[in-house]
Amino acid sequence: MTIPAQVERVPPRPRRLVAVRRVFAPIGDARGMTRWMLWVGAGITLAFILVALLAPVLAPYEFDQFRTPEEGRFVQLEAPSRDHLMGTNVQSTDVLSRIIWGTQTELKVVLISLFLSISFGVPLGLLSGYFGGKLDRVLVLVMDALFVFPFLLLAIVIAFLLADKVGQGIFTAAIAITVVYVPLYFRVVRNHTISIREEPFVEAARALGAKPFTIIRKYVFFNVVQNVPPLATLNAADAILTLAALGFLGYGIQPTEGAEWGYDIQRAVSDAASGIWWTGLFPGLAIVLLVTGLTLLGESLNETINPVLRKRRYEKVSLAPPGVAEAEME
Amino acid sequence: MGGKGTSLRQYLLTRLLLVIPMVFILLTLVFLLMRVAPGDPISASLGGRVPQEEVERIKAELGYDRPVYVQYVEYLGNVLRGDFGTAITDSRPIGDIIRENGAATLELTFFAMIVAIVVGVTFGLLAGRYRDTWIDGGGRLFGILIYAMPVFFLGLMAQLFFGSYLGWLPTSGRASPLVDATLVTHTNIYTIDTLIDRDRDAFVDVVKHLILPAVTLGLVTAGVFIRLIRVNVIRTMKDDYIEAARARGIDERSVVYHHAFRNALVPVITVVGLTVALLLSGAVLTETTFNWPGIGKTLISYLENRDYPAVQGIIIVFALVVVVVSVVIDFVNAYIDPRIRY
């Protein structure tokens, strides 16, 4: 069977991808420092995701393993050696293994809490911003009250209260972190929705008789959702710090449930007086590296997607004569 | 709000009126969290450690056996009269805790804020001014790294290096045991107390103890300043009046220092206000790391002892401090920038 030549057409692109592509389109235009930050950040983040996925292969021991059947119990607080590349801690567990397994814990908690805070914060923000009125006023007051509260205290109190009822696992930590971040998404989405609501194209849709939910879904949502990827990435970085802080204060993941970097650093504080550095340094570096990666990624996404900060390829218009303009750049 | 002649006084009044629902909601949230969620605080605090009759007796004595709404009204009344309650475990009134441990936190956060402003404003302005140069790169990298550094990790490293390795600075507490024992407390702020008594050795000792925690907390907070000020400078440099100033032939240096930086620094006042919440969170961690007997460390030890009334009282105070600071910051802002009070 022969196919007529004129049928050869480019198939239409799926619609969803168009929207996603539109949100991320400016990334290709990123230049200079921003481009560098974007790639380094993405690289570090990806590396940690791989470590988390491959933890069973990569980790030399289990996160709570303190002995092997052949060699017996590991030496306590052993300096970095061949068997234990980053040494052992006071409980004789391998520091490197705890860091690798810890990557899994951190990412799990962050993913759950991001998912929860976006799925509460974004819809609430959309509704509150679009409809306004009493609902808006009440929500804004409650969210502002949560927002002014010192975030760590809020997380500690939630974790402390949940610890009695749910236990100190990944879920408790994720919920404690969620409560802290819902107001953030709510605020950003609400304020943006309010400004979008007054745009001519929304007005036009309303004039054509579109229902409120149709307007929110088709016109407001995609304009507002642009803010979410950079915010969520920066937020992920912050969530890791909050989780580590909870762990450091003893309200994070229970040691029997999984390895967590903040908890390890807390145990290392008492080692510092005797000059033992490996128990604290390595988990800390893991936090710094992961948070740095996410921050670089988030900030560069923000700079490329956020039109206020966006800097594109085009030449800068300068009113000064050429010589002066060059001198300025120095 | 609104109206034609919105004056500063009107703005202040509306802002003050808005504080009332905010405080009310905060107090209600704390009540719901700390009293309703765990049932009654006495059983939660003492349950299992004291016989049941004893628990019932204390409950009746403190009024926890009455209906929740009666307790709620009484709780609001007490807080409004400035009575934040009493700890169960050591019977210390929350007011005393605030006076004694709060002073330690105030001392720590005050000096940390100074470090944060000096470091943050310097690096932030430079990075924004020389955007996309190595200065910007260095400043931003420092900003990002210091932001990524948990305050307790930075503190731990500082303890290892300056304490254990070099042996220059003490790593724990507010003063050496001898100084601590002999110090006469006037304000509970040790640097001021030693100055009042003109005790030079004690002053040096106290300052030495303060350096590591304050610099640690300050540097971490500086990260926030750097990022925000940098963005502000970039935004300001794009404004029309900067272009106008250039067009008038004012030299670039003057444009940057007199026109751009000043305006870029106005929002910093707001940031300082927002940072207070951050500083308080950081203080909890810094105090725990350096064994600094501030209010954050006290809170953590009450949490460990499951002393609900004490935790509740301290949290209310934290919340009120943040609200008061945000109001003060808004006032200062409205005073400086007439656009805010529209």
Binary contact (A295, B148; C-beta < 8 A): yes
Segments of A103-188 assigned E as strands: none
Distance from CA of B140 to the nearest CA of A (A): 10
CA B235 to chain centroid: 28
Q: Name the pLDDT band for A111 (thresholds 50, 70, 90).
A: very high
Greater confidence, A99 or A32? A99
Gap from A217 CA to chain B (nearest CA, Å):
32
Q: Which tokens is A207 given?
A: 């004039």
Interface contact B153-A265, CB threshold 8 A: yes
Q: Which residues contact A308 (CB under 8 A, 6 or more apart)?
A: B235
Minimum Cα–Cα distance from B44: chain A residue: A164
Whether chain B has a CB inside 8 Å of the CB on A280: the answer is yes
Range with lowest mean pLDDT among A107-121, A128-142, A149-163, B257-271: B257-271
Cα gap B316→B224, rounded to integer Å: 26
Residue, of A99 and A10, whose pLDDT is higher: A99
Note the residue count of chain A: 330
pLDDT tens figures, A267-323 = 878 777 777 788 788 888 999 999 989 888 888 888 777 655 555 544 445 555 444
**A146, A272, A324 ranked by CB distance to B159: nearest:** A272
ipTM value, please give it: 0.78
Structure tokens at B161: 């290096």
Distance in Å, alpha carbon of A201 to nearest chain B alpha carbon: 28
Asked whether the beta carbons of B85 and B94 are under 8 A apart, the reply is yes
Q: What is the largest CA-CA distance in chain B?
A: 85
pLDDT digits (tens, 9 = 90+) for B36-93: 666 666 766 666 667 777 777 777 777 777 777 888 888 888 888 877 878 877 878 8
Tokens representing B58?
């204390």
Closest partner CB to A308 (pick from B235, B285, B318): B235
What are B82-95's pLDDT values in tens digits?
Answer: 778 788 778 788 88
Give the one of B231, B243, B252 whose C-beta lies nearest to A309's C-beta.
B231
pLDDT at A309: 55
Q: Using a CB-CB distance cutoff of 8 angstroms, which residues of chain A are in contact with residue B230?
A: none
Give residue B2's region: left, alpha or beta (phi > 0; psi -120 to 50).
Answer: left
Given A157, A265, A308, which is nearest B315 (Cβ)?
A157
Query: Which residue do the tokens 């950003």 mark?
Result: A188
3-state secondary structure B279-292: HHHHHHHHHHHHCC
Bridge partners, A68 (sequence order): A72
Asked if B25 reaches chain A (Cβ–Cβ under 8 Å), the answer is yes
Give whole-number Cα distances, B167 to B159, B163, B170, B208, B225, in Å. Answer: 9, 5, 8, 12, 31
Which residues lie below 8 Å from residue B310, measured CB to CB, with a gap of 6+? B85, B86, B87, B88, B89, B92, B94, B97, B302
This prediction's pTM = 0.80
Gyration radius from chain A CA atoms: 25
Q: How confident is residue A116, by pLDDT bands cut at 50, 70 and 90? A: very high
Band of residue B339 on the pLDDT scale cut at 50, 70, 90: low
